Amino acid sequence: MGRRVVWRINQGLRTRHWLAVLIVGLVFIYTAYPIWGGVSASASPNQRFGLAFVNGMGYSVSELRYQQAVDSGATWTRWPLYWSEVETCNGCLDDSAYAAADDVVNRDVAHGLNINAILLGTPSWTGPSGSMEIPPPRVGIRNIILPSGEISAQIGGSSASSPPPNLYTPVFIDGTINPNNYWARFVYTTVSRYKDRVKVWEMWNEPDLKDGSGQGVFWTGSREDYYRLLQVGYLAARAADPSATVLFAGLAYWTDTDFFPYVLNLMKNDGSASANQYYFNVLPLHFYSDPHNLYDKPLWFRSQMVSYLGSAKPVWVNETNIPVCDDTQVGDPFCPSPWRGTMEEQAAYIIQAYALALAAGVERVFIFQHYDDNVGYREYFGLVRNNTNPRPAYTSYQVAAQYFLNPTSAVRGLQGNVETVTILYGSSPRRVTVMWNNSTSPAQAQIAAVTPTAILVNKYGAQQSTTPQGGFYQVPLPAATNPEVGVGGDPYLLVETIDFGYKIHLPRILKGASD
């Protein structure tokens, strides 16, 4: 027998600090080909999980729907506050104008939900350009956006998508909001009204989304126009509430991949931008169907911010999911279907997307959406059907919310076709390894053990005890059934609680180790 490297964690270790140091070192050795370590320290432990849309203006949802949201583990809700439905005539911003929004805000807060409110929709009384016959595009009706840049239907713009008139007039006159800058007035009044209950304000939605003809869907203005809208919105919101968090509009990316770098360049060359935090505090992104987008794309967007601005803002993904195509309860059994998945694949997607987002340092992730609500053609995204029956993905969301709570580090790794995300929890003697198989053939993960026994958890929370063989946990992983989209096979979570007296064996792991 040749050399064998053996590390011992002795019971004589006096503090968990040293144990944590050892485990962190082990993670990088045990995870084959570690790629990047994530988890943002600024995100509150229980505030990483969100849903769009628990409630919203005009929804009038049931108490059951709220309870299902709370029971899922979500602590955030995202919904649109349509300017065009609030200020229906010039200056009409009294209590009656806000009645519908008041109801939603109060119910959200009463159920303990944090609010990501989206401000959008130019009112018709402003006389913007664009067809007055096409209804404004609605947040919540989602057509599939393909990576090619195409979307599944030609939606077209509308007057509500147009830049507000007077957008380039001053935001303030003698230190007060300029009433003739309509967007500034609306943002200031709205944020002032809700500043004790709503702290996160998103300035429009998907200004980069184009339909099949190249027409802007939510925004028909130029990139320069959007930057001006962001500037005005930021200044007005922060004047109303200096503690407000202002979000860049959530980006769809695929139909205009140059949109964000172009706006970053405008910021870079704007002498007033750096003194105003570049007019946004958080960058939200929207990605669907392939969970790997929640890892690769946040890193790319972060690199763009560093390149242009010198530092990166926090990144959220406040829309993500894969729509289902085999749910007979809603009359759609047609699978396979492009960029869609089965209900089993949707449940797998939830676990994989959250794990990869953690590894990429994404602060918050919102699933689109809580219920199906107003669906387009075969667009069933809901964790819960409109008939109130949860889909399997609802349970996998609960599993993610339970096991991904309060992590301090997450490392993505690859073992051939097996993908892993290894999660640590600070001084807690626990390690969770999330794993799945990206190939179309069954595979086996080998996870070097730091405990003499562990719990293996499937995507629905079912548990079984397992023990290592030769110092490794051997975990069979089923094949991926939708590799064209990027969803891996059923994920498993290996949950280890460290035994202070257990000997940790590293056969053949370190260079030079041999039998």
Neighbours of 197 (CB within 10 A): 14
Say if 511 falls within a structural domain.
Answer: no
pLDDT at 425: 87
387 and 490 assigned to the same domain: no
Say if 302 falls within a structural domain.
Answer: yes
194 and 246 assigned to the same domain: yes
26 and 59 assigned to the same domain: no
Which residue segment(s) compose the domain that 424 sits in?
A: 6-38+409-505
255 and 166 assigned to the same domain: yes
Of the candidates 67, 55, 158, 104, the one whose C-alpha atom is nearest the C-alpha of residue 394 is 67
pLDDT at 37: 54
Structure tokens of 337?
């279907």
Boundary (domain end) residue, out of 351, 371, 403 = 403
Inter-residue contact 378 to 327 (CB < 8 Å): no
CATH number at residue 268: 3.20.20.80
334 and 361 assigned to the same domain: yes
Say if 389 falls within a structural domain.
Answer: yes
Q: Is the peptide bond before 68 cis (omega within 30 degrees of 0)?
A: no
Number of domains in the chain: 2
338 and 218 assigned to the same domain: yes
149 and 264 assigned to the same domain: yes
pLDDT at 501: 59
433 and 318 assigned to the same domain: no
Boundary (domain end) residue, out of 371, 386, 403 = 403
Say if 231 falls within a structural domain.
Answer: yes
Say if 169 falls within a structural domain.
Answer: yes
156 and 232 assigned to the same domain: yes
pLDDT at 211: 85
Cα separation of 157 and 302, whole Å?
30
Tell me the whole-structure pTM to 2 decimals: 0.89
3-class DSSP state for residue 375? coil
CATH number at residue 437: 2.60.40.1180
Boundary (domain end) residue, out of 403, 431, 446 = 403
Say if 44 falls within a structural domain.
Answer: no
Task: Answer positive or negative: Cα dihedral of 24, 29, 32, 35.
Answer: positive
Say if 382 falls within a structural domain.
Answer: yes
The one-digit pLDDT tens for each residue of the chain (515 residues) are 333 222 332 333 333 433 443 444 444 434 444 444 565 544 444 689 999 999 998 888 999 999 999 999 999 999 999 999 999 999 999 999 999 999 999 999 999 999 999 999 999 998 765 444 445 567 877 665 555 555 554 445 578 999 999 999 999 999 999 999 999 999 999 999 999 999 999 999 999 999 888 889 999 999 999 999 999 999 999 999 999 999 999 999 999 999 999 999 999 999 999 999 999 999 999 999 999 999 999 999 999 999 999 999 999 999 999 999 999 999 877 888 889 999 999 999 999 999 999 999 999 999 999 999 987 667 899 999 999 999 999 999 999 999 998 898 999 999 999 999 999 987 778 999 999 999 999 999 999 999 999 999 999 999 999 999 999 999 999 999 999 999 999 999 999 997 655 555 443 333 333 33
Q: What burial class does residue 4 get, using C-beta atoms within 10 Å of its C-beta: 0-12 exposed, 13-18 middle, 19+ buried?
A: middle
107 and 212 assigned to the same domain: yes
Cα separation of 376 and 186, whole Å?
31
CA angle 292, 330, 350 (to 5 degrees): 20
102 and 154 assigned to the same domain: yes
Cα separation of 16 and 19, whole Å?
5
pLDDT at 274: 98
Say if 514 falls within a structural domain.
Answer: no
293 and 194 assigned to the same domain: yes
Inter-residue contact 333 to 316 (CB < 8 Å): no
Query: In terms of DSSP H, where are the helices of 368-427?
Result: 392-403
